[in-house]
Structure 1
Amino acid sequence: MYFDLPSTLRYMESVAALSSAAERAGIDLFVIPDFVSILPCKDKLSGTNIWLGAQDCYSEDKGAYTGEVSPMTLKQAGVKIVEIGHAERRRLFGETDQDVAKKAAAIVENGMVPLICIGEKSQSQIASQAVGIAVRECQPQIKAALSQIPDDADVIFGYEPVWAIGASEPAGADHVVTVVQNLRNLVSNRKGSARFLYGGSAGPGIWKALSQGVDGLFLGRFVHDPKNLEKVIQDMSEP
């Protein structure tokens, strides 16, 4: 809810202009506006390879669920990827791992890709303890989601340590890489692809340090300035 409708559409125009650079670099670029903006954003992204996303959905396609958003309707609106389980939704709206898993199932059933946010709340200043805490808190989040979607379904996990969201600096590269390496064991035998992105104060300049451990970046406020998004694409384009 940082942007209103006019600023969202201006932002989409700037992102659309970066589509060719992302494609040349082999980057799957996605952008996730608010619900009201989805249809006009689809028009702004026409002719690009950018994935249109949604920030949430409900776990049912139809019914007496006033105020919720149907995954079937999102698919019809041109959405390809749906973010679910963000730390803010878990904290502010009481979403559980089971709620998120049901949403993941509905997203997959409608032919879209779930982007499942995971992350630990607790933090330790001792590196080995911090990794153990992260793995222990993230594993149930992943297992719950995987239990509800087909083995051949594509899924993306956005690893965001809750303590790093909104912080001045992202989590340390060693921590992120080690945690994700441990979490990959949960998806190593799946038929469908399972990609891990890092979020949590992610921005320009961190890709090289994380590239050996994660598949991409989940960017928030640091790329509200399109120039920073362009810098990230440039970072990821370099050998």
Structure 2
Amino acid sequence: MSSSSPRRLVGVSTKMYFSFAKTTRYVSTLLKLLADQPPETLASLQNIDIFVIPDHISLVSVISQLRHGSNTCPVPILAGAQDAFHEDAGAFTGEVSPAILAEIGCRILELGHAERRRFFGETDDTTARKAAAAVRNGIIPLVCLGERTKPPLASASSDSVSGDDEILDIQAALPEIRAQIEAVLSAVPPATDVVLAYEPVWAIGAAVPASASYVVSIAKAIRDLECVQRRPAGSTRILYGGSAGPGLFAKLKDGVDGLFLGRFAHDPEQFLKTVLEVATA
């Protein structure tokens, strides 16, 4: 999927919120909603990648649904997994093989989420090894990243104050973000597709989320990192992985290539609405 101009990308993870039956209904509803769109809407979706990341138990069924749904829904949807081990096979009880994920048709692998780091002690090195395993098996690594601590306010100046927004120090956040990205990109071949899903960890569940201007500034700083600049144009796409609502992507489109959605998109109608906003913004 590499190109000189990155394709936009939008998707959803169901985490562990859905039952098997609810996941099945969700995908069926989404496929029907897409199939019912007028031709001009479907045309706008040909230049965007859509993905759904269910739980491991539901993944095989979702892949089957998406394959059969392609007969009536002209818009392809990629299926992803929420995690995998860094080895393809062996005595690793309870782990999920990336080779088997590839075998069943998994296309994207979510890695390094803040919850994996917090609950299971995963590190930048863990994420990098899993990203290498994904790429080795022809799966696109979707790497979650973000700084844990809210940066301090930037030094006040006449050209750094914008309305009522807090102006945070971008440079203070970059070292942690850079380390996360460099670990992954050093572990995979330079021409492979990598998706970076940015969300500041300090903003998860916060009363006041990170501002759009802050997210755009961070995304632009990520693109300027030497490890990203060395890669072929279009091979590194950046998503915003935070809470999303109507109209958000229009505020972020100058910095990111799409959105990685959570609970807001657990309503298939809201998910489709957001997909269309990303496609047409």
> TM-score, normalization: structure 2?
0.80
Total equivalences in the alignment: 239
Q: Match for 1:190 among 231, 241, 249?
A: 231
- Secondary structure of the structure 2 residue equivalent to 1:217: strand
- The 1-side partners of 2:262 and 2:196 are apart by 15
Distance apart, 1:169 and its partner CA = 5.5
Q: Note the 1:119-158 alignment, pairs <5 A.
A: 119-124=146-151, 126-127=153-154, 129-158=168-197
The structure whose RCO (Cα within 8 Å, separation 6+) is larger is 2
Could you tell me which runs of 5 or more consecutive residues in structure 1 were left unpaired when the two chains were aligned: none
The answer to whether residue 99 in structure 2 is matched with residue 72 in structure 1 is yes
Q: 1:147 to 1:85 in 2, by over 3 A?
A: same
Q: Match for 2:52 among 25, 31, 49?
A: 31
Q: Match for 1:225 among 267, 272, 277?
A: 267
Larger radius of gyration: 2
The answer to whether residue 31 in structure 2 is matched with residue 12 in structure 1 is no
CA contact (8 A) 1:120 1:133 kept: no
Q: Note the 1:104-123 alignment, pairs <5 A.
A: 104-123=131-150
Distance apart, 1:5 and its partner CA = 0.3
CA contact (8 A) 1:120 1:162 kept: yes
- The 2-side partners of 1:38 and 1:121 are apart by 30
The answer to whether residue 166 in structure 2 is matched with residue 163 in structure 1 is no
Distance apart, 1:30 and its partner CA = 0.4
Could you tell me which runs of 5 or more consecutive residues in structure 2 were left unpaired when the two chains were aligned: 1-15, 36-40, 155-166
- The 2-side partners of 1:85 and 1:108 are apart by 15
CA contact (8 A) 1:122 1:133 kept: no
Q: Match for 2:255 among 205, 213, 219?
A: 213
The answer to whether residue 109 in structure 2 is matched with residue 98 in structure 1 is no
- Find the counterpart in structure 1 of residue 163 from structure 2: none
Distance apart, 1:77 and its partner CA = 1.1
Q: Note the 1:167-182 alignment, pairs <5 A.
A: 167=206, 170-182=209-221
- Secondary structure of the structure 1 residue equivalent to 2:243: coil
Distance apart, 1:24 and its partner CA = 2.7
- CA RMSD for the aligned pairs? 1.8
- Find the counterpart in structure 2 of residue 81 from structure 1: 108
- Secondary structure of the structure 2 residue equivalent to 1:28: strand
> TM-score, normalization: structure 1?
0.94
Identity of aligned residues (%): 49
Structure 1 window deviating more from structure 2 (211-220 vs 170-179): it is 170-179
Q: 1:226 to 1:181 in 2, by over 3 A?
A: same
Distance apart, 1:146 and its partner CA = 0.7
